[in-house]
Structure 1
């Protein structure tokens, strides 16, 4: 999923800095259901890997960023201007590499081989067990796990899931799951596997009709809503997306207090990263972020000296950005107001708050 900070160099705004967090490109399924004839060896690189379609998507997204921010970013790569962070997954690391190939094709002295119009740009990561910023739910957080269990038992969740109970049992039978083991996550696995197979022109089972896949999409979106919302949303946010919001606001505040050369921070992550972030901000539309989706934070300094934040969402690199307005504020939102309005979802001590009550 994608986030980006950048300043709006238009009209009365002065560009200071931008960050972006995006979802990786098209991939193979991360796993599949028991009766699926398309097992892991069906896919050229196995499960959970970036495909050539995904590579093309992120290359074009990098070109989109180059064109849109041509007047803000340097025309050539400058290591003092850009920082890239990725989760430790092949598909996110590779997406970042291809994105940068579109954003920073080598020019002049950066051309090291005339037959290879690409240059290496460092991408930073941490191990999956230490990832507490971009991959949710974060590891070793018993309180978040407890909230998940409480959500599944809550009247609010049961009301939303009740209309799908008979349908989910039918899908369990088709997919090879026992009624006892079927849950929203397995339904999401079925949906994702069928989606990947449809994109890559693999044959689908006869029961996977358009109506069935549409309902599976609804249940997958319900699964994400249940993970990060429905019940005790703000507390869940402090243990997930609020962690990322905190880092973003810390970076923005540093730039506002002391303008620096660093212009772009890129985070290469997942759909759940974007959902957790947008649920924390209470702006999620309820729709799954597509491949290459990107949530954007722009830091502006207006002509009167005031710092403001604008937010945009990019869910198609071939179309314009959607404006996102923080509830309770205007767009752009004064930085101080933004900080105050999000204070409830910012963790003070993540390790302590992750402990169970």
Structure 2
């Protein structure tokens, strides 16, 4: 009997050992075969090519406004945004469902500024991202379906329509910036050029402010891209210099002087909103997979200034900044950022200063915390 009991114990011990080894094997197998998972995506993109929002006084192509309207997305702009949507479909084909359903409204959320060309850009991008399939096709000659795009009036937009000029503290910082030696030194080289522009455009020199310079650059770019005859004075060199001046003024709007303080009142607001969505995406009950923002060049510049990764270049039409949240094999969450500023190339990886490219979410949040305002109205 003693021998039988001993054998029984040995058998039980052997079984427990096998079970323990099997469990260890399963854990090891899971660790070696588990893959990092994409959990959430946020994209911020600039609109596509559009008709001018303003024509300079001496412009000979003002009939465009009568024919097509001000600030309307062109056929080229529609194509640019449609191709961006197609790129998003290819990039996230394994992440987003192929078919847009009513229940997808909780999966993807699209917000635009209340401008015709950004609203139209959002719709064109969605047409490329979610073409109707099978039973969704309501007209075989029109492979398009309506998908919600959300907006608020520009007067109430405290997220995307930057810079927020209704912030007294920001306006004070901007005046300080324009008075700094650094800015005045760089602007000095453009003073003869500004007089040149005033002479040929018909604008009074005193009214050639940042916004008018940006609009003038957009107008000449539109006329060049769409094969209108440019004024003799608007040579390639002049247009290039105008873009450089636009870039200088954009940097002054969001950087140069007290950049962190400016970012708390400008691009940091959008960054905080994006991080809120990213944080929510970690919850098991969270269904949203993507948030899209259709906005402007200034929106991307302000965001990248807040992240201290702006390259100093004016974002081209359909430029897109990506945030991707991943859950790693060990359960940790990381953020990757990319910037697509050329439709013929893959997006550039972006690395937040002070972190590695695959940045742990907690570290990312810690690094950007100085530009996240918790009481924007009070700080303004």
Q: Is the 8 A contact 2:85 2:128 kept in 1?
A: yes
Residue 57 of structure 2 is matched in structure 1 by 34
Q: Is the 8 A contact 1:169 1:182 kept in 2?
A: no
Question: Do residues 117 (structure 1) and 140 (structure 2) align?
Answer: no
Cα deviation for residue 131 of structure 1 reads 0.4
Question: Do residues 23 (structure 1) and 49 (structure 2) align?
Answer: no
Q: Is the 8 A contact 2:304 2:310 kept in 1?
A: yes
Residue 288 of structure 2 is matched in structure 1 by 262
Distance in 2 (CA, whole Å) between partners of 1:69 and 1:182 is 43
Q: Is the 8 A contact 1:13 1:301 kept in 2?
A: yes
Distance in 1 (CA, whole Å) between partners of 2:118 and 2:268 is 21
Cα deviation for residue 118 of structure 1 reads 1.1
Distance in 2 (CA, whole Å) between partners of 1:293 and 1:40 is 29
Structure possessing the higher radius of gyration over alpha carbons: 2
Q: Is the 8 A contact 1:309 1:334 kept in 2?
A: yes
Alignment of 1:176-187 (within 5 A): 176-187=202-213
Residue 169 of structure 2 is matched in structure 1 by 143
Aligned counterpart for 2:126 among listed residues 71, 90, 100:
100
Q: Unpaired segments of 5 or more residues in structure 1?
A: 1-10
Residues 86 and 186 of structure 1, relative CA distance in 2, 3 Å threshold: closer
Q: TM-score, normalised by structure 1?
A: 0.93
Deviations 1:40-65 (A, max 9, x none): 54563222111111011111111111
Report the more deviating stretch, 75-84 or 334-343.
75-84
Residue 165 of structure 1 is matched in structure 2 by 191
- The structure with the greater share of residues assigned to helix is 2
Cα deviation for residue 33 of structure 1 reads 1.6
Distance in 2 (CA, whole Å) between partners of 1:131 and 1:148 is 20
Residues 186 and 80 of structure 1, relative CA distance in 2, 3 Å threshold: closer
Residue 240 of structure 2 is matched in structure 1 by 214
Q: TM-score, normalised by structure 2?
A: 0.87
Residue 30 of structure 2 is matched in structure 1 by none
Identify the structure with bigger relative contact order (alpha carbons < 8 Å, sequence gap 6+).
1
Residue 277 of structure 1 is matched in structure 2 by 303
Distance in 1 (CA, whole Å) between partners of 2:171 and 2:63 is 29
How many pairs are equivalent? Answer: 345
Secondary structure of the residue aligned to 2:281 is helix
Cα deviation for residue 318 of structure 1 reads 3.0
Distance in 2 (CA, whole Å) between partners of 1:151 and 1:84 is 34
Deviations 1:73-107 (A, max 9, x none): 10111223211111111111111111111111111
The alignment's C-alpha RMSD in Å is 1.7
Deviations 1:192-233 (A, max 9, x none): 211111011111111111111111111010110111111111
Deviations 1:261-299 (A, max 9, x none): 211111111111101100111100010111111001010
Distance in 2 (CA, whole Å) between partners of 1:212 and 1:236 is 31
Residues 292 and 43 of structure 1, relative CA distance in 2, 3 Å threshold: farther
Q: Is the 8 A contact 1:168 1:187 kept in 2?
A: no
